[in-house]
Structure 1
Amino acid sequence: MSNKIQLKGITWGHSRGLLPMVATAQRFEELHPNVEIIWKKRTLQEFADKSITQLAEEYDLLVIDHPWTGHAAALRKVIPFDSVLTKEFLQDQKENSVGQSYSSYNFEGLQWALPIDAATPVAASRPDLLVQLGVEVPRTFSDLLELAKQGRVAFALIPIDVLMSFYMFCCSLGENPCLTTERIISDEVGIKALKLFKSLADHVDERFYSKNPFMVYEDMVNNDDIAYCPFAYGYSNYSRDGYGRKVLHFHDLVALEDNGPMTSTLGGAGLAISSNSEHIEVASEYARFVASPEIQATLYVENGGQPGHLKAWKNEEVNRRTADFFGETLPTLERAFLRPRYYGHMHFQDHAGDVVVDYLRNGGDELSVLSTLNTMYKESLQLVGSNE
């Protein structure tokens, strides 16, 4: 036992984040008896917040949030996969990216993580409750607002998700955030986005200000008041028989005005390797194993994972197991907005959501909200690091 190569990995503490890593590690160990891989978990908030600098000191393998890419590249805390995997493998990953998942981990022309998990905010419903209400899945924002006024709609209202939803409203109104270095969004689009967002949030129960996406889904499957969630980062686990008390069905987003379905803000997770690891060759072999199309469509997804390889998303058996989660939401992923990844954006992301949450809860002047966001945004651009 003492002669085994030991790798330590860190991921986030949900079935989707932990179980597929444990399963792939177990199988990899069976194929490579001289290797032991130990996975630990952290909370979803820590997943978004805790610095790669800190994690890379302790772990060989890191499941990371893609906005950390610029930070990681600037400090060289993780290795670029271009130096350890073949061009052919990386080209397959690129060609089979789910939306911009692959490019979300590409910075300065190098690939800092493999997109083993793909996600963006999508819609979710309790089909049984919609039938009881005599309504169909909302197709437009007006439909959504009508259902919300009945108290049957909810979504995540913690700061990070609120900021991502604000980006979504802006994109859906035709302007992406952070196009200039002077402001987060134009006043015209920003004001409209805030007002639309608040018009919906005003009809959501207060308890959702403390819930992240999977807590919203837990609420939906364990209670019978919320029939529809219009946008929250998708979790295919809740569309699988036996996972929850009820099965959720997932959908593309509603149409906003005349602009077609809304455009949400890309999420997902990537597998990175610490530059401090003493076993980079073995770690990269395991990463290749996890990200391979064969494992992504079988062992990974069968153990609760939400794959990042397009062939898995289009796989008939994968969709049969998940009430067509992947087929129904792929269009949403394909048009999702890739948020900024410059060095300082994590600092902005850590604080800006609080400003929008305060507006949603207490109201206020939209221009004042935008002014505060602009100041925070410009400050974040000044933080030392590598910009893209």
Structure 2
Amino acid sequence: MEKIILKGITWGHSRGLLPLQAYAQRFNELNPEVEIVWKKRTLQEFADFPIEELTKSYDLLIIDHPWVGCAAATSCVLPLDRHLPKEYLINQQENQVGRSHDSYFFGGHQWALAIDAATPVASYRKDLFEKNKTLIPDTWSGVLELAKAGKVAAPAIPIDLLMNFYMFCQFHGQIPFQSDREVVDHYTGLKALETMRGFYGLLDPQFFNANPIKVAEIMSSSDDYWYCPFAYGYSNYSRPGYARNILTYGNLVKYKDNQRLRSTLGGTGLAVSEFSANKDWALKYAQEIVSESNQIHEYTANGGQPGHRKAWLDERNNLLTQNFFSNTIQTLDESFIRPRYHGYLHFQDHAGDPIRDFLMGKLDADAVLEKVDKIYKKSKNV
């Protein structure tokens, strides 16, 4: 009997690869006729080669929730509500972290399962704060004071700056994308950019080339930086033995009226290609790896950051990660969901560039908002 081989595509980090490979091995032990091979690629490669093209070559795909508008428009992945048991999807919906499961529901269909949940959260070197007898910031003003002392790190590549621009627009009172003509009103946009310049201007310029993984690596491998106020969380760095020093994670700081910053939901979903020659096997693997039991146990144990709420509340998982999950779940529950219309990814791929240029002193604020809105209208075909 010829062996069935399923191909999957994911992103290149321990969190995004190892739990998929681990369950592929277990799946093969239970189903010897099926082998699942996972390939990794960089986040930039995901941006450079459209996922809809990848569906022609891969059976299983790890996706970002803003892509589901494209999924609905092209039907290149399976609507899982037509293939998975209703009670299974109800369990996923009732046990989501934040709105992770809902973020993959678009146009009346569920295009992926929330296999992984994340949003920007705070991280810090608890040992350094204790050694220096310094309090961990809990307010925005406290973050700025620590940044002035040169102890703060934060990712500042274009995509992360754009996600934080959404956050700072809400900081100043407006939720982005309420209009088809502009991302936010001009006043709010200027205030958000001004707040961002006040913060990023205090950081080492090296962070304009650092993503959240790079920041976590810098913070865990040296004693130069004690605190990061917002970067997509990675529970791996809170696990003993993963990096030289452990990072502790927590919710975002307060800024006014005791309100906390509201970050932008990330995480990933698992989708099944419409072009797969072995859809039933691909669906079986997807259903099992995102199941409540696997997410609580094997998925998390193998370095994953699960999408199922019971895994986040599990006592053993929190012991394993210095309470990463229980310490940050509030921020995930409060997080902002990006637009998912077909075309949004064009905006996301380009709108962070002028913000970065502004923060590096290459562009004025009015020009930034003009460029951002131009990109937005192009993405909406307005």
TM-score range, shorter chain: over 0.9
Equivalent residue for 1:138? Answer: 137
By how many angstroms is 1:374 displaced? 1.2
CA contact (8 A) 1:52 1:77 kept: no
Equivalent residue for 2:317? Answer: 318
Deviations 1:301-324 (A, max 9, x none): 001000000000000001110000
By how many angstroms is 1:134 displaced? 2.5
Give the 3-state SS of the residue equivalent to 1:362 in structure 2. Answer: coil
Equivalent residue for 1:33? Answer: 32
By how many angstroms is 1:109 displaced? 1.2
Equivalent residue for 1:153? Answer: 152
Q: What letter matches 2:120 in structure 1?
A: P
Equivalent residue for 1:5? Answer: 4
Call closer, same or farther: CA 1:48–1:241 in 2, change over 3 Å: farther
Distance, in Å, in 1 between the alignment partners of 2:182 and 2:258 is 23
Distance, in Å, in 2 between the alignment partners of 1:257 and 1:358 is 28
Give the 3-state SS of the residue equivalent to 1:341 in structure 2. Answer: coil
Distance, in Å, in 1 between the alignment partners of 2:347 and 2:145 is 34
Equivalent residue for 1:306? Answer: 305
CA contact (8 A) 1:52 1:72 kept: no
By how many angstroms is 1:257 displaced? 2.7
Unpaired stretches in structure 1, ≥5 consecutive residues: 384-388
Q: What letter matches 1:209 in structure 2?
A: F
CA contact (8 A) 1:170 1:193 kept: yes
Deviations 1:271-304 (A, max 9, x none): 0011110011110010000110100011100010
Distance, in Å, in 1 between the alignment partners of 2:373 and 2:220 is 39
Distance, in Å, in 1 between the alignment partners of 2:111 and 2:325 is 25
Deviations 1:349-381 (A, max 9, x none): 111100100011106432222122111111110
The CA RMSD measured in Å over matched residues stands at 1.2
Distance, in Å, in 2 between the alignment partners of 1:69 and 1:136 is 42
State percent identity of aligned pairs.
Answer: 52
Deviations 1:190-225 (A, max 9, x none): 111111111110011111111110110001011111
Q: What letter matches 2:326 in structure 1?
A: G
**Alignment pair present for 1:47 and 2:31:** no
Deviations 1:18-68 (A, max 9, x none): 000000111111111111100010012223553112211111000111111
Equivalent residue for 1:106? Answer: 105
Equivalent residue for 1:193? Answer: 192
CA contact (8 A) 1:163 1:356 kept: yes
Distance, in Å, in 1 between the alignment partners of 2:115 and 2:330 is 19
Call closer, same or farther: CA 1:49–1:160 in 2, change over 3 Å: farther
Distance, in Å, in 1 between the alignment partners of 2:322 and 2:172 is 31
Distance, in Å, in 1 between the alignment partners of 2:9 and 2:135 is 41
Call closer, same or farther: CA 1:169–1:255 in 2, change over 3 Å: same
Equivalent residue for 1:386? Answer: none
By how many angstroms is 1:13 displaced? 0.5
By how many angstroms is 1:189 displaced? 1.5
Equivalent residue for 1:236? Answer: 235
TM-score by length of 2: 0.98
Give the 3-state SS of the residue equivalent to 2:255 in structure 1. Answer: coil
Q: How does 1:210-221 map to 2 (within 5 A)?
A: 210-221=209-220
Distance, in Å, in 1 between the alignment partners of 2:132 and 2:168 is 27
Unpaired stretches in structure 2, ≥5 consecutive residues: none
Call closer, same or farther: CA 1:48–1:101 in 2, change over 3 Å: farther
Equivalent residue for 1:128? Answer: 127
Give the 3-state SS of the residue equivalent to 2:39 in structure 1. Answer: strand
Distance, in Å, in 2 between the alignment partners of 1:355 and 1:48 is 18
Distance, in Å, in 2 between the alignment partners of 1:317 and 1:311 is 11
Q: What letter matches 1:117 in structure 2?
A: D
Call closer, same or farther: CA 1:296–1:48 in 2, change over 3 Å: farther
**Alignment pair present for 1:283 and 2:287:** no
Q: How does 1:256-295 map to 2 (within 5 A)?
A: 256-258=255-257, 260-295=259-294
Aligned residues: 382
By how many angstroms is 1:141 displaced? 0.7
CA contact (8 A) 2:354 2:363 kept: no
By how many angstroms is 1:170 displaced? 1.2
By how many angstroms is 1:258 displaced? 2.7
Equivalent residue for 1:88? Answer: 87
Call closer, same or farther: CA 1:108–1:361 in 2, change over 3 Å: same
By how many angstroms is 1:259 displaced? 5.7
Distance, in Å, in 2 between the alignment partners of 1:105 and 1:40 is 22
Distance, in Å, in 1 between the alignment partners of 2:341 and 2:129 is 42
CA contact (8 A) 1:116 1:270 kept: yes
